[in-house]
Structure 1
Amino acid sequence: MKRYRQFEPVLVSEFKAAEWTHPEHNHNHYEFIFIVRGRGVHVINGHTVPYQSGAVFFIGPEEYHYFEIEQETHFIYLKFTDAYSHRYAADSGVLTRQLEYLVKSRETHQHGFPLLAADLLTVHLLFQVVASLKHDAFANQDLIWYQLLGITTILVRNMPELQTDGSRSRDLQAMFCYIHKNIYTPNLLKSQVMAPHFNISPDYLGTYFKRQVGMTIRAYILRYRNTLIRQRIAAGRMILKEIADEFGLTDVSHLSKILQKDHGA
């Protein structure tokens, strides 16, 4: 399978195509893809997703995809690397958490983001702003970052959410959504707290998750949290005390023990 590599922190491209010329591929960066006009099929990780004007997709590293164009399609691509997102992570706070949440929710990537009319209009305008900055993405990377966060915020609030009544789904995606949203609040990730949100018992929650994912829910939470922590450390923009506080850990020594245990595993 072909792999595309991007070395620039952020790139923007806008083009029209009547035929898709790229093979099935993956890459080392992230991609927001907006369909301004057109119709066809987007194949993501083997899943076939019909698209039309206004469709939005998000593709992460290692995911593979290609398009089958049925009607000439106008694309806007916003492509960025980990280095780009980490550069702004400490300064963007909660909004960066939204991006991390979106990045991790791979299951959602495979289905696209159906948007309500008002959100679709806003996303369209944000992508138009992004496209207007494509002539010099490097000089405009600060401006592009704010548009990226705006797009992310809208996509996240259109992702599958937990229901508010007794009909809450036990669907795995809803569990991922809950974990990713509450990763900064350890008390909300205890089985006895999570289970009522899915209208099931704590014991069944653990059994169901392990059967579907192949690891315990605690192991998944620890792996996800430790990945985010290591990203914070690698970015070099936060001291360990700040990272520990962000994730609700008692102190820096607690953080160090987590990383040592994770490294030893």
Structure 2
Amino acid sequence: MEPQRLTNEQYLGEDFPLRLYNQMVPGPVALHWHEFYELCYVYGGAGSHTVNGRTVPLSEGSLFLLTPADFHSVSPSPDRPLQLYNAVFGEQLLSDELRPLLFRDYAGGTVTVAEDAREAVAEEFRLLQAELSGRQPGYRLMARGALERILLMLARLRSLEEGSGSGREEAPQPEHIRRALVFIHHRFREPLSLRDAAAQAGLAPNYFSECFRKAAGVPFQQYLQELRLSFACSLLRGSPLPVTDICYASGFRTLSHFERAYKRKYGHSPREARMAGK
């Protein structure tokens, strides 16, 4: 069964693409994906969260961001239902200044807010809720400000967690290439062209192709295909989706192309990978 798709039309208003839900999740939320971004903060309960085939625990203080590229499901603990704020918003609310801070590795990610900082995060969500429901003059500016502050908290926490790891720093990408890479990583399941990516970088396609290859080490189409294959591999390992659904969910247009590309990269077919649990 194909996972549910949540659309902008269903969840975002035409006037202002930002909504907030304060909810309790007593039972499992089935695998799904959405066209918008989703920012969640757990302020009570416990459970687990599976994103693109990888499962992480959820507890009080968990803060995570999902992009339009992500498939996910949620499983609350039977005796501790999840309580969370769930902000959904359109891509246009992500400023050019915020994107490079938030998507250093092009993904959303999950962090745990320290106990002494949780009230500050919760207060921002309460402010966001009050502004969206009250709709006083200037509410859009106030709501967007609250959203951006929470996203910056997430970015800073992720930066701290990454800094406590190996300490290895990669050479920074040129800003125009970073913009294109974020776009590719968030839209690779769609029919993307070199021209689409070049437009994000503000470059002519031919020049972008040259710059991209120099920065990424591989041509654009190869990078895009390997990203799709990696995503498919994660779904094969960590989701019950049929191989055919995984093929299309990963951005491939035909099953035959997907199977050939997968076997060429991994040495076995997607169905063999599923049976072997690889």
**Please, what TM-score do these two structures have when normalized by structure 1?**
0.58
Q: Aligned equivalents of 1:225 and 1:23: distance in 2? A: 27
Deviations 1:115-138 (A, max 9, x none): 333443322221222222342679
Distance of 1:124 and 1:227 partners within structure 2:
32
Say if 1:136 and 1:63 are closer, same or farther in 2 by CA, change over 3 A: farther
Sort the Cα spacing of 1:143 and 1:258 in 2 relative to 1 into closer, same or farther, 3 A: farther
CA RMSD between the two structures = 3.8
In structure 2, do the counterparts of structure 1 residues 117 and 258 end up closer, same or farther at CA, with 3 Å as the change threshold?
farther
User: What's the counterpart of residue 3 of structure 1?
Assistant: 5
Identity %: 16
What does residue 57 of structure 1 align with? 64
Gaps of 5+ in 2: 186-194, 213-218, 222-278
For 1:37, the equivalent position in structure 2 comes to 44
Gaps of 5+ in 1: 170-174, 187-219, 235-242, 245-254
Trace 1:125-136 onto structure 2 (pairs within 5 A): 125-135=123-133
* Partner deviation per Cα, 1:67-125 (whole Å, 9 max, x = no partner): 1111122221111111333xxx3xxx6334323447x135xx2xx20233344332222
Q: How does 1:1-265 map to 2 (within 5 A)?
A: 1-7=3-9, 8=12, 9-20=17-28, 22-70=29-77, 71-85=80-94, 89=95, 94-101=97-104, 104-106=106-108, 109=109, 112-135=110-133, 140-159=139-158, 160-162=161-163, 168-169=167-168, 178=170, 182-184=172-174, 224=181, 255-256=203-204, 258-259=207-208
Instruction: State the distance in 2 between where 1:10 and 1:38 align.
Output: 25
Q: In 2 relative to 1, CA 23–259 (structure 1 residues): closer, same or farther, beyond 3 Å? A: same
Per the alignment, do residues 17 and 52 of structure 1 end up closer, same or farther by CA in structure 2, a change over 3 Å counting? same
Contact 2:180 2:198 in 1 (8 A): no
User: 1:231 Cα shift?
Assistant: 8.2
**AA paired with 2:26?**
A
Amino acid at match of 1:258: Y
String of CA shifts for 1:203-251, please: whole Å, max 9, x gaps. xxxxxxxxxxxxxxxxx869528869978967xxxxxxxx88xxxxxxx
Are the structure 2 counterparts of residues 147 and 183 from structure 1 closer, same or farther at C-alpha, using a change threshold of 3 Å? farther
The secondary structure found in structure 2 opposite 1:12 is strand
List per-residue Cα deviations over 1:186-205 (Å, max 9, x = no partner): 9xxxxxxxxxxxxxxxxxxx
TM-score (norm 2): 0.56
Q: Equivalent residue of 1:61, what SS? A: coil
Conserved in 2, the CA contact under 8 Å of 1:183 and 1:225? no
| Structure 1 partner of 2:191 | none
Task: Say if 1:224 and 1:135 are closer, same or farther in 2 by CA, change over 3 A.
Answer: same
Name the SS of the counterpart of 1:131 in structure 2. helix
